[in-house]
Amino acid sequence: MTPRIRQYGPVVHVIDITDPADTRLDDFRDLNSSDRRPDLPEGKGLVIAEGVLVAQRLLASRFDPIALLGVDRRLEELADDLDGVDVPFYRTTADVMAEVVGFHLNRGVLAAARRPAPLELADVLEHSQTVAVLEGVNDHENLGSMFRNAAGLGVDAVVFGKGCADPLYRRAVRVSMGHVLRVPFAHVTKWPHDLEALRERGFQLISLTPNPEAVTLAEAMTGEKVALLLGAEGPGLTEHAMRATDIRARIPMAPGTDSLNVATAAAMAFYERVRTGR
Amino acid sequence: MTPRIRQYGPVVHVIDITDPADTRLDDFRDLNSSDRRPDLPEGKGLVIAEGVLVAQRLLASRFDPIALLGVDRRLEELADDLDGVDVPFYRTTADVMAEVVGFHLNRGVLAAARRPAPLELADVLEHSQTVAVLEGVNDHENLGSMFRNAAGLGVDAVVFGKGCADPLYRRAVRVSMGHVLRVPFAHVTKWPHDLEALRERGFQLISLTPNPEAVTLAEAMTGEKVALLLGAEGPGLTEHAMRATDIRARIPMAPGTDSLNVATAAAMAFYERVRTGR
């Protein structure tokens, strides 16, 4: 069957590849170590989307794709999304893909994009009502889950403070189901000083803490605009960061248990926000 | 330094091991495939606790340990917990441990326990106010997260309906941080018919669904005793199961996003219960 995408205007270029050593596939090579790319700006790898759903989200995002690699079936599934997308689609077999990327990839398609210029804090705050602000969240899986939950529960943006991992690492992109490509994020330069920028825009700044003496999340969250500060599992937010906020709030928990996973705690804060109608 | 545990009464027997082939370590061998044990009842593996924290929870639980394997430092850390525990502690090096279990285990200690007789549904419901009821949750990581969240948010018990994975698999135990060993659980035999047992005990049965026409979780949850039914990510609860419940409730979500991870959805339902004072 001839894919529909071959029949229309300026479109993806389907290029059949049979040799796994083909240098045109270098951007997809050894994906397990592709998050470091000394040849690229800041030494960071390309943004890699795995699977049809995440590739679709990449194609619909602010990220510019540079190429796709996949099997014929996935090319067909992506036909509509690739309409008007002027990049190569390297078509090959699952075996060649496995040899190139370094492991068996059962999703059958990858899209690669360059990292765009970072968004400005002022821009991501502009139309936001609810933002998550992260400090020391250095686990890619937690970051990915947090973006997924943010998207599902209507959080408008994520702000990165000090010590966080890169949300565009491959694993974070995958765990987020592509939502790191959709939910806008920006980095704060002076931490926590630059939180003033949020206060000036009318955000209520709320620190999440396991401290049983803090008020509950439901009591604390009164602002029209809210910024929820979350720290890493274990250490939590630094005292320094908490002092820069308006109020400290806790999720009511059973005594004698561990703190919750940070992405789960975030989800509950996002839920509380949705529950109260934002 | 002589560990304190050697100085007291009937206690753990410390046995030094230098040969990774020592047959006394067979219960800790090749842990990546240890979840199947054709020589044990139902072909299921022993319960394995990894690391000091989870081993402590195992030692304090209804699960009877049969042996521990670990390095000297972990033996010292567990000294108080092992007081009066009449089982062998096989003391060895990290290298021998790695060779026995089949991979490098950076937590330095393992405890193995036999599977106890399953708890009866009537017993786990007896003093419960909030229970989670699962259908088709077949991912060990999700199960583990759910038990961790259940413990943290004061859920009294977990009831397993049809098609769920085994909560005592090694990965589920680890992800739960040992809470599968603490939060009681029981299996329902006739699904969903046996949900009647919950209704008879006064539980309000609530199905969680992404259906936007359902009432919100906050509106639905009115019972003194509540049973929260959760289905697998993707398919969700079967219609059959939902029909056996009193009400269908949704977590308010942003339009056009995916459903939430099942453990995250569960956490929000548990949170809603805690928020309203149970």
Instruction: DSSP for B160-205, please give it.
Output: E-TTPPPTTSHHHHHHTTTGGGTS-EEE-SSTTGGGHHHHHTTEEE
Is the N-terminal amide bond of A192 cis, ω within 30° of 0?
yes
Find, among A132, A147, A137, the residue nearest to A273 by Cα: A132
Angle of helix A262-275 versus helix B262-275 axis, rounded to 10: 60
Give pLDDT, residue B49: 97
- Strand-pairing partners, residue B179, are none
Q: Chain A contact for B153, CB < 8 A?
A: yes
Per 3-state DSSP, chain A is made up of helix, strand and coil in percentages (nearest 5) of 35, 20, 45
CATH of residue A75: 3.30.1330.30
pLDDT digits (tens, 9 = 90+) for B51-72: 999 999 999 999 999 999 999 9
Asked if residue B176 and residue B150 are part of one domain, the reply reads yes
Asked if residue B245 and residue B134 are part of one domain, the reply reads yes
CATH of residue A241: 3.40.1280.10
What does residue A253 show for φ and ψ, rounded to 5 degrees?
A: -130, 160
Any idea which of A38-47, B32-41, B50-59, B116-125 has the lowest mean pLDDT? B32-41
Asked if residue A85 and residue A28 are part of one domain, the reply reads yes
Structure letter (DSSP) for residue A119: P
Give pLDDT, residue A212: 87
| pLDDT above 80: residue B9 | no
| pLDDT above 70: residue B141 | yes
Burial group, residue B93, by CB count within 10 angstroms (0-12, 13-18, 19+): middle
Asked if residue A107 and residue A176 are part of one domain, the reply reads no
Structure letter (DSSP) for residue B45: P
pLDDT digits (tens, 9 = 90+) for A234-262: 889 999 999 999 999 998 888 777 778 89
Instruction: DSSP for A204-234, please give it.
Output: EEEEE---TTSEEHHHH---SEEEEEEEBTT
Give pLDDT, residue B264: 93
pLDDT above 70 covers a percentage of chain A that reads 96
Average pLDDT on B256-262 reads: 81
Asked if residue A163 and residue A65 are part of one domain, the reply reads no
Which residue, A113, A129, A164, sits at the end of a domain? A113
Cβ atoms A49, A55 nearer than 8 A: yes
Tokens at residue A223, please? Answer: 């602002």
| pLDDT above 60: residue B7 | no
Quote the domain boundaries for residue A41. Answer: 4-113
From B177, B253, B260, residue closest to A258, measured CB to CB: B177
Which residue, A62, A91, A113, sits at the end of a domain? A113
B271 contacts in chain A (CB < 8 Å): 251-252, 268, 271-272
Q: Chain B contact for A154, CB < 8 A?
A: yes
Cβ atoms B196, B229 nearer than 8 A: no
pLDDT band at A278 (very low <50, low <70, confident <90, very high): low
HSE, CB side, 13 Å, CA atoms: give it for residue B258: 21
Give pLDDT, residue B278: 61
Cα–Cα distance, B169 to B173 (Å, whole number)? 6
B145 contacts in chain A (CB < 8 Å): 261, 264
Find, among B228, B210, B232, B154, the residue nearest to A153 by Cα: B210
| pLDDT above 50: residue A129 | yes
Asked if residue B65 and residue B179 are part of one domain, the reply reads no
From B151, B253, B259, residue closest to A257, measured CB to CB: B151
| pLDDT above 60: residue A3 | no
Tokens at residue B45, please? Answer: 């593996």
Cβ atoms A87, A12 nearer than 8 A: yes
Average pLDDT on A17-24 reads: 96
Return the exposure string of B191-213: e unless at least 16 CB atoms fall within 10 Å of the residue's CB, then b.
Answer: bbeebeebeeeebbbbbbbeeee
Find, among B157, B153, B161, the residue nearest to B231 by Cα: B161
Instruction: Give how far B137 is from chain A: nearest CA, Å.
Output: 18
Q: Chain A contact for B276, CB < 8 A?
A: no
Cβ atoms A174, A149 nearer than 8 A: no
Asked if residue B192 and residue B270 are part of one domain, the reply reads yes
Cα–Cα distance, B97 to B108 (Å, whole number)? 8
Return the exposure string of A183-202: e unless at least 16 CB atoms fall within 10 Å of the residue's CB, then b.
Answer: bbbbbbeebbeebeebeeee
pLDDT band at B44 (very low <50, low <70, confident <90, very high): confident
Tokens at residue A277, please? Answer: 């109608």
Asked if residue B97 and residue B154 are part of one domain, the reply reads no
Please state, rounded to an integer, the average pLDDT across all residues of chain B. 91
pLDDT band at B150 (very low <50, low <70, confident <90, very high): very high
Asked if residue A79 and residue A57 are part of one domain, the reply reads yes
Any idea which of A38-42, B23-27, B95-99, B194-198 has the lowest mean pLDDT? A38-42
Count structural domains, chain B.
2
Asked if residue A172 and residue A231 are part of one domain, the reply reads yes
| pLDDT above 50: residue A8 | no
Question: 3-state class of A256 per DSSP?
Answer: coil
Name residues whose C-beta falls within 8 Å of residue A178's C-beta, 6 or more positions apart in sequence. Answer: A49, A53, A54, A56, A57, A58, A61
Name residues whose C-beta falls within 8 Å of residue B214's C-beta, 6 or more positions apart in sequence. Answer: B220, B248, B249, B250
Which residue, A64, A85, A113, sits at the end of a domain? A113
Give pLDDT, residue B8: 46
| pLDDT above 70: residue A2 | no
Give pLDDT, residue B37: 83
| pLDDT above 50: residue B105 | yes
Measured torsion, CA atoms of residues A101, A107, A109, A111, in degrees rounded to the nearest 10: -80
Asked if residue A98 and residue A128 are part of one domain, the reply reads no
Average pLDDT on A92-112 reads: 94
Cβ atoms B63, B47 nearer than 8 A: yes
Average pLDDT on A187-212 reads: 94
Establish, for the pair of chains A and B, how many residue pairs have beta carbons separated by less than 8 Å: 82
Asked if residue A163 and residue A141 are part of one domain, the reply reads yes
Please state, rounded to an integer, the average pLDDT across all residues of chain A. 91
